[in-house]
Structures are given as C-alpha cells and as structure tokens.
Amino acid sequence: MDRRRYISGRLGITALMILFILSCAKISAPSGGPKDVDPPVILKSQPENSSTMFSSKSFVVTFNEYVVLDRVTEKFMVSPPLAEKPEVVLKGKSLHVTWEDELADSTTYTFYFQDAIRDNNEGNPIPNYQYVFSTGPVLDSLSLTGNVFNASDLEVVDDITVMMYSNLSDTAPRTVLPAYISRPDPSGGFMINNMRPGSYRLYALRDLNGNSRYDLDDETFAFCDSVIVVTPAENYLVFPDTVKYKPAGAAETTKPDLFIFGQYRLYAFQQESKKQYLKFTERKNSWSFGFGLAVPSDSGQVSLAITDADTASWYLEHNVARDSFMVWITNPAVYDRDLIEAILTYPFTDSTGAVTERIDTINLRYQKPAPPRGGPVKTPPLTLTTNASGRQRPGTTLYFLSATPLADPDTSLITLIQTVDTVKTKLEYGFTRDTTTERRLFMKAAVAPGGSYSLTCRAGAFKDIFGNATDSTLYRFSIATEEDYGSIKTRLTGYEGDVIIQLMADKEKIVREAYVTCPGEVTFPLLDKGRYRLKAIYDLDSNRVWTTGDYNTGRNPEPVSYYPAELEVKINWALEQDWDLGVKYLKDVSVRNKPVTKR
C-alpha cells in the first residue's frame, strides 16, 4: 500500500472525528423564539426567607438557572449594618452569603441586594431582592418610605445611603452605626423595611470613605430636622417580597414609572467648608503663577513677596471672592528663572479651629522650552476675545479679553463708525477696566438699536503688560431691536419674603437672574426665542445667594422650586405668567401654560 495514501487516510479520519466531537460538545442558545425577559426564579432558601429564631452565620439561595452578580459590592447592604460586610459568592446555581459578626438578640436583619442578582443569559434582574430573618421570635414588619433629592436642583442623588438611627443624639451620624439602612431607587424613592416601633432620626449620606459615618466635610448629606415615631398606626406593614407601595394620601408623580412620593423628603447638600488652607499653587508658564485658598479671604489677609525681586517687577491679581490669586511677573529677569521662590502669608485654620496667620515658602518651577536660535524666552503673542461681531442685543456692553493683563489701549489707533441708512458717523467712545481682572476692557459707546458698526483697530491699538501688541483688525457688528426678541413677565404670589428668580435654558444654564420680594413680579426682556424654565430660591437669610445646609447648626438648605412647565418664547411676543410660590420643592409637574399676549 502506498504509505502516503495510508497517512492521508488516517489524517482525514482524525479530522472528521475532531469535528464530530466539537459539534457534539458545543453549547449554544437555540436559534429563534422569543427573547428571555423573565428574571431568575428562587427555588428555595436555606434557612427559609423570613425565618425567626435565626442562629446561623450564613444562608443559601438557590435559583432555577445560573445567575451573575452585577456590582454587588456597591449594591449589597445589610440593615442593621454589620461591622464587617458579609462574603457573597456564587456556587453553581446558588448564592452563598456568610459572615463572622455576632448578631444582636431579638433583631430583624434585612440583606438588600437591590437588582444585583441577574440571569446569566440576558441580565434580567430580580428587582429589589431582600433576604430577611429575625434572631428573636418576631419578625419586625413596620416600614418607612421617603425620597432623597439634591437640595439645589431637586434632581436624584446618585450613590447615597439612607440611614435611620434609634440613637437620637445629634452626634450619632458622626460616631455610631445606624439602626437601619437602605438605598433609593433610580427615582430617588426609598423604603426601609422590617423596622420595630420606636423613635428615630432620619439621614442620608454619600459615604466617601465607606465607614457609614458623616465625618468628611465634602460628603453629601441630608437630615430630617424632627424625630420620627414609627408605630403600627402610622406606618405600613410590609412583607419581604413587596416592591410596590403607595402611602395613603400620597400625590402621584408625573413620572409614572418612578417611585411614588413617600412620607418623608430629604434634601441633600454639601456643607460649606469653613476650614481655611492653601488649596493649590501652580506655574503653567514663565511669566505668571497662581495659588488658591479653600474659602474666600477678607481684604488684607493675603500678602506675597518674591525672593530677590522688588515689588515693581510683579503684581497680584485676585477674583472678587479673594480665594483665587494670579501673580503676573513683568520683569524678564525674574520670569526667566526656572525656579521662583515666593513667601506667602495667608489665613489658616489650625487644629483648634482658630484662624491664624500662616507664612509658607512656596517653590514654583517651570521648565522653559529651548529658546529659538539662542534668543530670549518670549511671552505669547497677544490675541483678543471680543463680542464686537455679529448681532448684539440692545444694551450689550462691548468687551475685549486677553490671556494676559492689558495695558491702556492707544485710542489714536481705534476708530468706531456707525452706519444707519447708508449714513456714516464717527462715534466717540471710552474704555474702562473690569474690576475683577486686568485682562478685560469694556468699551463704552452710544451704539443704537438697528445700527451697523465697524470698529477699526490698527496695529498696536492693544498691548499687554509684556509689550505684545495686536495686529490690524476690523470688527463688524450690529445692534438688534427689541422686536427681534421676546420676553417673560411673571407675577409671583402665594409666598411672603425675598426670592431669587432664575431664568434657565437647556441643561439648567442660568440665562438671567432677578432678586424680588414676593408677592411681586419679575420681567425678563430681550430673550432669544426658545424654551426656558423658571427656578425660585427662597432666600430665607436675604443674602441674595442660595445658602446650603449646615448640620452643625441644624440648618437645612434654602428651599427651591421650579415653575411646573417649560415656557416657550417667540420673537416679538410677550409671555405673561402667574406663579404660585406657596408650594416649595416642585419640579416637572405637567400643567398647561396660560395664553400669551402679543406685544
């Protein structure tokens, strides 16, 4: 027999056998048929869910199919919390939960999984799954419902935990673990199940360091300012598998797929930091450096000296709040240094909470790029940003903004011409400086609605403090008329006191803001066509800004509310609207706009 034919035949048989084995071993989902949309089914729990006299340190839940755990580290929690988080593992089609902590006597424990348990194929979750047991003879069955919203805009707060304390001390959320915990659903609604009767305090916390305590200034926090009494008469009997509920008398939300409003509302905030310290220092180029403080400073508390540089070689610029500072160095011999040493004096909060004067030496380095052909390092060319282009609304003030501080402009090189019906007129003008920055100049001129303008700036008209100058530029712009815009007039009723009314465009960008006493009215003229929202801030302390909360003093954030519909502005139309501010914390309620009146 031909040996080559024999080898070839054996190889062919081997290949066929391999293909047959692979085809038999391959596991695949059947083609066709409806998509699986059902969550896993619980076949049994050991011990049974809702057991009493529980004495184990583990439980096992078995499903009808293989499951996966989705972000279980974030979603899984135990109420009341254990000192050490239990271990959660999958073995086959079973979920195993074990822990080492000793359980408290006669206490009902709830193991919350939220939607972390999902089937392996399509990721269908078991919604709001809970395993509950009691170490005593009775399973506590009272519950409490509520909502958590962000205090400033009434939006849902991500990654926040709701906490109930039987310890009524004001220090409890900072020092001890809560009696019960829960997580809000995607709409901000929460339910705390399996509670025993008693008096409690209610909080919410975005726990940045994972210790279930409000101990960091930048943690988001919320608190109910009254003691909550949980009794069978005022609360609700809830069974472990219950996921739908509606408190008696609760109003319907305008988002029907979301959580129904609960009994208690929490408005989360970040407490304003009162600790003063040097927040940052930076040097992004040769000729300047900046530094910032944690909170605004009073006038005269900040001073600076640069080693081996006289005060004429630099100057200090700051923002209105005096918490952000920029040092501009005008002497090339100073800004040419790779290392600048500065002596900074600033206010500082010490360990006792007292604000003292602190002096630090800060080293600011900048590695300069190699100079071209051995020449000196140059500052950047001067470029200006300006609104002297296109169509501007009546009353607009022209401005010129630079990346570096500007010197006084040379008005002999600047000409402003107005054109109305082909008639050209040379206009007088003047420049003033922005009080908050040396980088911006305002141009004052008698520009009129309906006019067209050309602004000629010859080379060198603008210079910065480093001597860099602009090239010749021609700017063209026009001033629109009132008929090119719409307006909103709102009559405010139902509340007595000071309010801040904000007019907002898409993504809650603030377009205008007005301060008014209610009852009263506010008008926003010269608006571009489009859709707007109105927001009210109830200025309880009359300081003309929204004031956040302060748990140390027991002060919740100032309330806010939204006009319950979008307002559509059209060109040459005046929209008039009544707004009842008697009900606070409103947003996204669907109501019809009232008829508008044409100007």
Distance CA 199, CA 436 (A): 52
At position 234, the amino acid (one-letter code) is: E
Distance CA 569, CA 523 (A): 13
Is the separation of the CB atoms in 4 and 12 below 8 Å? no
End-to-end CA distance of the chain: 106
Distance CA 497, CA 520 (A): 10
484-598 has the same fold as 42-134:
yes
Distance CA 545, CA 502 (A): 11
User: Which is higher by pLDDT, 434 or 24?
Assistant: 434
The pLDDT confidence band at residue 599, using thresholds 50, 70 and 90, is very low
Q: Note the Cα 94 to chain centre separation in Å.
A: 39
CA distances from 491 to 100, 221, 324, 516 (A): 63, 34, 39, 11
Q: Does domain 42-134 have CATH number 2.60.40.1220?
A: yes
Angle at 268 between CA 267 and CA 273, to 5 degrees: 135
User: Which is higher by pLDDT, 343 or 423?
Assistant: 343
- The 10s digit of each residue's pLDDT in 25-35 is 444 445 555 77
- The 10s digit of each residue's pLDDT in 248-284 is 333 333 333 344 578 899 999 999 888 899 999 999 9
- The 10s digit of each residue's pLDDT in 191-230 is 898 999 999 999 999 999 888 899 988 899 999 999 999 9
CATH topology of domain 278-374: Immunoglobulin-like (2.60.40)
The domain locations on the chain are 42-134, 142-270, 278-374, 384-480, 484-598
Q: Does domain 142-270 have CATH number 2.60.40?
A: yes
Distance CA 177, CA 166 (A): 10
User: Which is higher by pLDDT, 335 or 34?
Assistant: 335
Count of CA atoms in the C-beta half-sphere (13 A) of 262 = 24
* Single pTM value for the model: 0.80
The class (CATH top level) of 384-480 is mainly beta
Instruction: For residues 397-409, give the mean pLDDT.
Output: 95
Per-residue pLDDT, 234: 72
Phi and psi at 17, nearest 5°, equal -65, -40
Highest mean pLDDT among 8-12, 171-175, 212-216, 230-234: 171-175
Is the separation of the CB atoms in 543 and 537 below 8 Å? no
Per-residue pLDDT, 367: 85
The class (CATH top level) of 484-598 is mainly beta
The pLDDT confidence band at residue 377, using thresholds 50, 70 and 90, is low
Is the C-alpha dihedral spanning 162, 168, 171, 175 positive or negative? Answer: negative
What string of DSSP letters covers 446-507?
---TT-EEEEEE-TTSSBBTTS-BPPPEEEEEEE--GGG-EEEEEEEEEEEEEEEEEEE-GG
Instruction: For residues 32-45, give the mean pLDDT.
Output: 83
What string of DSSP letters covers 217-230?
TTSEEEE-SSPEEE
